[in-house]
With several copies, the nearest count.
Chain A
């Protein structure tokens, strides 16, 4: 029997995310965003985090509003269906946080470099843009073969990645499906990985489909069982996106007092994801659950 890495979100965040950590989260860009982990980071008053991800829908804006972050390494920070992230805007404008401006492709190449274990990767993007002058992790270089200009992206190696997935075993083996964003690279590039799973399943379920395993379990530090961890973002196989929450947050976060009210109600006003779900209500959850089931046709790994 492999060692169990099951623990609560409180314990996982406490143990694996010290203040000052560089943390990749929201690696699905719009799907499977680990909002529950983000809220626990806020409840534990984590400070000086660097947030890494191409786009983490509105989670980065929430973490900035809660004062957890002093640096963002991202391509886009806002609220996907409404636009600007107001906490982010205020924090940058006041100088409270630094931004390392990436594009989706540069941050992907940076994580791929980290995952591959090389100090940089080259890309053709961002040539001629002002990102080259404001982000020191991007350097123009000459291709050793063609002689043409390229942009070198320095490897990104987060201290920890937090990934919301559909199902995991206690050992850390995990199945993720849907669009994967930069999840695979982020897991392989990070020194530590926290898996947040909708369901805990037997090892055999995970090993029944080894191609769907996100990363080798020896790279996983913690497995947290937390249903609805990604709400209000969607989780393929479980629940749809809760658009209204994004609209409500936009309104709430326009002013600091509005954000404070949202924060006291939805984050510090609940002690855990269970209480959050109680506050959300059963009806709301029922409305979001998938109603059109579409199972995959199995494959055979026999011998």
Chain B
């Protein structure tokens, strides 16, 4: 079996969440690769919608680093306005999306706006971009993020992208028309959300990771599935495809730039 990086494992896990024929709102960074991987494996009929105002149903003719790269526009299925892409989302036409975050809590609420540390220092982050929209309006969304204790907190400092709020019934009360986080893919494991309590539940741990490590990096007592598994490793085929799309390992290699 080929050796792989944590990012490659995460992208592979993300790609597997896309069903064939689904409309996928493709976010920045790792999700770009996850969508391409799904298209080239089990979900050839998946369609990608990009916030720049792009719809694609075929892979770009050469690797791209970001969605605005010109190969991503070549022979696109639609080039339109950001508003048109967001309209598909707001209508409920988007089945699945992927977002990241700097902070997350047990209900999948995400913060990418501002961190307040205990000594009163604020750290300003880039903001929502489309993340809040995807969290509010996609049929379901997957969260991909680094698993660190400062990120997995009891309560996020700012709700940029609503998850399940304070738990059961909260989204309905706030008037969110649909959706909610379907899972979290971290550098250590994969989580889903309990259908009743809406709390994050550990479904799988990545190879060579143990439960204690996950608990140590999580700011609340982790709920664990009765059927806890080991996250399946990327297959050789998946790795080959990923490396075709990220030949220099910019997103999935050890050289990947980490940022909040």
| A residues lining the B interface (CB < 8 Å) | 2, 28-31, 54-55, 57, 74-78, 80-85, 88-89, 92-93, 99, 101-105, 108-109, 112, 115-118, 123-131, 134, 148-150, 173, 177-185, 188, 204, 207-208, 210-211, 213, 215-219, 233-234, 236, 240-241, 243, 250, 290, 292, 294, 301-303
Contacts and interface: CB of A to CB of B under 8 A. Distances in A.
Contact of B86 (A83, A99, A104, A131): A104
Interface residues of B, number: 72
B44 to A, nearest CB: 10
A230 B69 CA distance: 13
30 contacts: A29-B82, A30-B67, A54-B82, A75-B128, A81-B65, A81-B66, A83-B260, A104-B51, A108-B81, A112-B83, A123-B90, A126-B132, A129-B159, A130-B159, A131-B160, A149-B175, A178-B70, A179-B68, A181-B52, A188-B84, A207-B77, A210-B73, A210-B75, A211-B80, A213-B77, A213-B80, A217-B77, A218-B47, A240-B70, A241-B70
Interface of B: 23, 28-29, 47, 50-55, 57, 61-62, 65-71, 73-84, 86-93, 113, 121-133, 136-137, 158-162, 165, 170-171, 174-177, 250, 257, 259-260
Contacts of B129: 54-55, 75-76, 103-104
Nearest to A150: B175
B79 A128 contact: no
B259 A83 contact: yes
A163 B170 CA distance: 41
A128 B122 CA distance: 22
Nearest to A29: B52
Nearest to A290: B70
A204 B75 contact: yes
Among A28, A57, A108, chain B packs the most CB atoms within 10 A around the CB of: A108
Contacts of A115: 87, 91
Given A179-B52, A210-B77, 12 more contacts: A89-B125, A92-B122, A104-B130, A117-B137, A128-B165, A185-B83, A204-B75, A216-B77, A216-B88, A217-B77, A234-B68, A301-B75
A130 B114 CA distance: 11
Nearest to A148: B175
A158 to B, nearest CB: 13
Contacts of B127: 74-77, 99, 101-102
Nearest to B54: A179
Contacts of A109: 83
B158 A82 contact: no
A173 B56 CA distance: 12
Contacts of A234: 68-70
Nearest to A173: B77
A81 B123 CA distance: 20
B176 A207 contact: no
A183 B79 CA distance: 13
Contacts of A219: 93
Contact of B79 (A77, A82, A102, A211): A211
B148 to A, nearest CB: 15
A180 B79 contact: yes
A134 B93 CA distance: 29
A243 B128 CA distance: 23
Given A116-B87, A213-B77, A216-B77, A31 B68 contact: yes
A92 B122 CA distance: 9
Given A88-B124, A93-B123, A181-B52, A128 B176 contact: yes
Given A127-B136, A129-B162, A83 B257 contact: yes
